[in-house]
Amino acid sequence: MAITKNTNEMPFLQIKDLVVEYTSDGETIHAVNGVDLSLRRGETLGLVGETGAGKTTIAKSILRILPDRSAKICGGEIFVNGKDLLKLSEPEIQQIRGNEIAMIFQDPMTALNPVKRVGDQIAEVIRIHNSISPAEVEKRAKEMLELVGIPAQRFREYPHQFSGGMKQRVVIAIALACNPDLLLADEPTTALDVTIQAQVLDMIADLKKQKNSSMIMITHDLGVVAEVCDQVGIIYAGEIVEYGSKEQIFDHPTHPYTIGLFGAIPDMNEDEEWLHPIEGLPPDPTNLPQGCAFNPRCPYATEECRKGKIPFAETPDGHLSRCLHTAEVLKKEANA
């Protein structure tokens, strides 16, 4: 069942049945297992899940920057503005990377080239995608620095001369330099302290609004999702297990994994001595459980959960959950 909003408007981004595998030491790693999602222009989709769930692989598949030797897109389609990105030639996709689609990488320490001036790294993107003079390229690069809150006078400095938060701002400036239609933000605030995190999120939201860009926000932090996202996809073992609007997911989570994620967050209004973590560990991606991949950790799992792929079912409030025991889960949560 494809995830599509009930609207006459064509999705700006649509992913259909995406399957991605890695190979390592002769073993096959099932990283993404039949993911469907859609996104309208101007919308922000949050992808939430534990490390190794496949979030970053989905984003890299959109940009087609997976490692050639170890990764393979085994099936599926990725449409952006009606174009199937997986059928484009390498020169064609190069014209899209950084121009129509850009990515904010997780770690600015590794995303930036340590021996190139930050201004030159911003200017490179502008120069590749625009037929303008070197003077105009430099002018635009300086404007991007100013746009993310860095004085233009620092154009010729190197990454080591910037703090972690400033480096992240430079990475954001590179990603936004050509006004992309789709922004892929891979945990852009992970390495930042809380104060700088709030500033960076506000800046991304403002710039996205100015340019009417769509965005996929990859994060572990449900607080970040609450602040910036419109739609939410909960990912487990390479599958979307619950999908809906931010309000639906936060107010009425129905998949046991989603409920477990919320249960692991401290509630400042409750006098709790201990958090309630999800028991067990994520599955080995080289040997995923049969049926629902969450069944070894799920308190509701039955023999039926271990047979075949679990389809999406519509919940009472209209969002989608990949669980056979939705009614039982909701009843227990209501009595908790």
Residue whose structure tokens are 């940009």: 63
**Phi, psi torsion values for 325, nearest 5 degrees:** -120, 35
Is the pLDDT at 140 greater than 60? The verdict is: yes
CB 35 within 8 Å of CB 54: yes
On whether residue 157 sits in a domain, the answer given is no
pLDDT at 230: 93
On whether residue 17 sits in a domain, the answer given is yes
On whether residue 124 sits in a domain, the answer given is no
Residue 179, classified by CB atoms within 10 Å of its CB into exposed (0-12), middle (13-18) or buried (19+), is middle
On whether residue 322 sits in a domain, the answer given is yes
pLDDT at 210: 79
Write out the residue range of the structural domain in which residue 41 sits. 13-100+180-267+275-335
Is the pLDDT at 59 greater than 70? The verdict is: yes
pLDDT at 1: 46
Is the pLDDT at 275 greater than 90? The verdict is: no
Identity (one letter) of the amino acid at 172? I
For the residues 258-286, what does the mean pLDDT come to?
82
Q: What is the CATH number of the domain that holds 302?
A: 3.40.50.300
Is the pLDDT at 322 greater than 70? The verdict is: yes
On whether residue 313 sits in a domain, the answer given is yes
- CA quadruple 95, 97, 98, 100: dihedral, nearest 10: 80
On whether residue 81 sits in a domain, the answer given is yes
Cα angle 31, 10, 243; round to 5? 40
Q: Give the Å distances, CA to CA, from 78 to 45, 94, 252, 254.
A: 16, 16, 29, 28
On whether residue 122 sits in a domain, the answer given is no
pLDDT at 335: 65
Is the pLDDT at 64 greater than 80? The verdict is: yes
On whether residue 131 sits in a domain, the answer given is no
For the record, the structure tokens of 313 come out as 């079912």
How many structural domains compose the chain?
A: 1
pTM: predicted TM-score of the whole model, two decimal places: 0.89
Q: Helix, strand or coil for residue 233?
A: strand
Q: Give the Å distances, CA to CA, from 225 to 105, 138, 229, 231, 280.
A: 17, 35, 5, 9, 25
Which is it for strands 71-80 and 27-39: parallel, antiparallel or unpaired?
unpaired
Give bridge partners of residue 78 from the DSSP assignment. 15
Query: Which is nearest to 288 in space by CA: 37, 52, 3?
Result: 52
Is the pLDDT at 6 greater than 50? The verdict is: no
The residue ranking higher by pLDDT, 48 or 148, is 48
Give bridge partners of residue 29 from the DSSP assignment. 22
CB 251 within 8 Å of CB 326: no
Residue whose structure tokens are 């639906």: 248
pLDDT at 9: 63
Is the pLDDT at 5 greater than 50? The verdict is: no
For the residues 269-282, what does the mean pLDDT come to?
78
Is the pLDDT at 265 greater than 90? The verdict is: no
pLDDT at 191: 64
Query: Which is nearest to 217 in space by CA: 203, 230, 206?
Result: 230
**Phi, psi torsion values for 209, nearest 5 degrees:** -65, -40
Is the pLDDT at 332 greater than 90? The verdict is: no
User: Sorting pLDDT into bands at 50, 70 and 90, what band is 25?
Assistant: confident
Is the pLDDT at 149 greater than 90? The verdict is: no
Q: What is the pLDDT of residues 187-243, one digit of tens each?
A: 887 767 777 778 778 877 887 787 788 999 999 888 889 988 999 999 999 999 999
Is the pLDDT at 318 greater than 50? The verdict is: yes
Percent of the chain with pLDDT over 70: 95
pLDDT at 7: 47
Is the pLDDT at 289 greater than 80? The verdict is: yes
For the residues 69-80, what does the mean pLDDT come to?
94
The residue ranking higher by pLDDT, 192 or 24, is 24
For the residues 95-100, what does the mean pLDDT come to?
90
The residue ranking higher by pLDDT, 175 or 334, is 175
